[in-house]
């Protein structure tokens, strides 16, 4: 193919594994390569996409480590990072995709990606909502909230629900789903701005700043004098220990993530697990990809709620692929307010 069909392709590359401690922007670099805007000849069932928006997600921290036996592979040092994103098909040898199709799913942290055998991709059918929603509300984060709350926790109207990291991409949705069902909902977050959002924007019944609570057990007893039916776990560590003291009989805990532990050399011990026995608490970890077959069911529920203004979604938008490393690191120090995404291109 002629050289003029080559275009520049900026990528976010992991320089080296970060096995412990807080990752830094300098652990990643922006590299510029070139790519042909065509699927290479003879490459079947593949698509070339132009990436529009990429998603920063907490699980990506573990992919920066050298992992053995993980549900998701490590990033390769020297290669472009991968993650969820929204993209437009530029060329296709795949029977299910044609030029111009909009998709969300796993793609590269780069301007253009060649996706061979694109398994974790969904075609975008509803374009009358913001496309950025497919990095969060209508993408992996939305499915995570839906799966953890409805499928794992089997909630009932009137139950008492607690959400940690409640202003994040997943937590803000869990709280709103719980309110739509008629539950009492309290969330925690790490700044006044985030607490105001939980109460005034997302409609939580109560919210507290965990950084200002010397005794988390006392804080939970203040908001849940009768205990917690459902805990949506995003944090782990001391928060989980405090929650275990406050669960009600037959309570459910959906373990979605434990962001407080991702940068530790050794995980913190959990001291209060024995309380799940007398309280008959069910605690279950889950991986959202196991539930992607429910995506059409989720859209049926959530699209009308968005259009009727019953669900609101806050995004924290960084501009340009060069800003992606800083945006990703921001997740681990609580810098983002809402769903963190990066605009690679708007067209």
Q: Which of 335, 267, 331 is nearest to 83 (CA)?
A: 331
CB burial of 131-147 (b: ≥16 within 10 Å; e: otherwise) equals: bbbbbbbbbbbbbbbbb
Q: What stretch of H or E contains 11?
A: strand 6-14
The CB density around residue 280, as the number of other CB atoms within 10 Å, is: 11
Residue 180 tokens read as 């739509």
Give the integer Cα–Cα distance in Å for 192 and 205. 16
Q: What is the pLDDT of residue 258?
A: 82
Other C-beta atoms closer than 10 Å to the C-beta of 26 total 10
Task: Count how many residues are written for the chain.
Answer: 347
Domains in the chain (CATH in brackets) are: 6-137+314-343 (3.90.180.10), 140-289 (3.40.50.720)
pLDDT digits (tens, 9 = 90+) for 127-185: 999 999 999 999 999 999 999 999 999 999 999 999 999 998 999 999 999 999 999 99
CA distance 98 to 197: 40
pLDDT digits (tens, 9 = 90+) for 289-298: 999 999 999 9
Report CA dihedral (210, 213, 219, 220) to the nearest 10 degrees: 30
Give the dihedral of Cα atoms 128, 131, 134, 135; nearest 10 deg: -160
Q: Which residues pair with 308 in a beta bridge?
A: none
- Give the residue, 257 or 188, on which the prediction is more confident: 188
**Backbone angles phi and psi of 324, in degrees to 5:** -65, -45
The pLDDT of residue 225 is above 80: yes
Residue predicted with more confidence, 2 or 90: 90
pTM beyond 0.75: the answer is: yes
pLDDT in tens, 204-223: 999 999 999 999 999 999 99
Structure tokens, 133: 């929603």
The pLDDT score that the predictor gives to residue 265 is 72
pLDDT digits 0-9 by tens, 57-98: 989 998 999 988 888 899 999 999 999 999 999 999 999 999
Pairing mode of beta strands 228-233, 160-163? parallel
262 pLDDT tier (thresholds 50, 70, 90): low
Mean pLDDT, residues 319-335: 94
Supply the Cα-derived Rg of the chain in whole angstroms. 21
pLDDT, tens digit (0-9, with 9 covering 90-100), for 108-140 = 999 999 999 777 899 999 999 999 999 999 999
Q: Is the per-residue pLDDT at 1 higher than 70? A: no
Residue 231 contacts residue 247 (beta carbons within 8 Å): yes
Cα separation, 133 vs 5, in Å, equals 32
For residues 232 and 71, which has the higher predicted lDDT (pLDDT)? 232
């Amino acid at each position: 193919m002629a050289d003029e069909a080559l275009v520049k392709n900026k990528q976010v590359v992991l320089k080296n594994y970060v096995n412990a401690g807080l990752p830094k922007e300098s652990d990643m670099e922006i590299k510029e390569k070139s790519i042909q805007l065509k699927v290479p000849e003879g490459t079947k069932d593949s698509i070339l996409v132009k990436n529009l928006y990429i998603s920063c997600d907490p699980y990506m921290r573990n992919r920066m480590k050298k992992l053995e036996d993980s549900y998701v592979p490590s990033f390769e040092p020297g290669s472009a990072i991968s993650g969820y994103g929204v993209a437009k098909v530029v060329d296709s040898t795949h029977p299910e995709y044609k030029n111009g199709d909009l998709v969300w799913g796993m793609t590269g942290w780069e301007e253009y990606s060649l996706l061979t055998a694109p398994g974790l991709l969904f075609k975008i059918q509803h374009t009358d909502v913001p496309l950025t929603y497919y990095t969060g509300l209508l993408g992996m984060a939305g499915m995570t909230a839906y799966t953890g709350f409805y499928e794992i926790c089997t909630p009932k109207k009137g139950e008492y629900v607690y959400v940690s990291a409640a202003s994040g991409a997943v937590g803000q949705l869990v709280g709103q789903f719980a309110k739509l069902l008629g539950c009492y909902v309290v969330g925690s977050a790490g700044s006044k701005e985030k607490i105001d959002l939980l109460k005034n924007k997302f409609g939580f019944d109560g919210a507290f700043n965990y950084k200002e609570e010397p005794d988390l057990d006392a804080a939970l007893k203040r908001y849940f004098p009768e205990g917690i039916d459902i805990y949506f776990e995003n944090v782990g560590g001391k928060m989980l220990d405090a929650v275990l003291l406050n669960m009600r009989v037959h309570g459910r805990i959906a373990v979605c993530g434990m962001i407080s532990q991702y940068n530790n050399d050794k995980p913190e011990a959990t001291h209060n697990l024995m309380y799940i026995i007398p309280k008959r608490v069910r605690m279950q970890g889950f991986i959202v990809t196991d539930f992607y077959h429910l995506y059409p069911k989720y859209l049926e529920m959530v699209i009308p709620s968005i259009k009727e203004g019953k669900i609101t979604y806050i995004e924290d938008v960084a501009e340009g692929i060069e800003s992606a490393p800083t945006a990703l690191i921001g997740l681990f120090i609580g810098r983002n307010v809402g769903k963190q995404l990066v605009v690679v291109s708007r067209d």
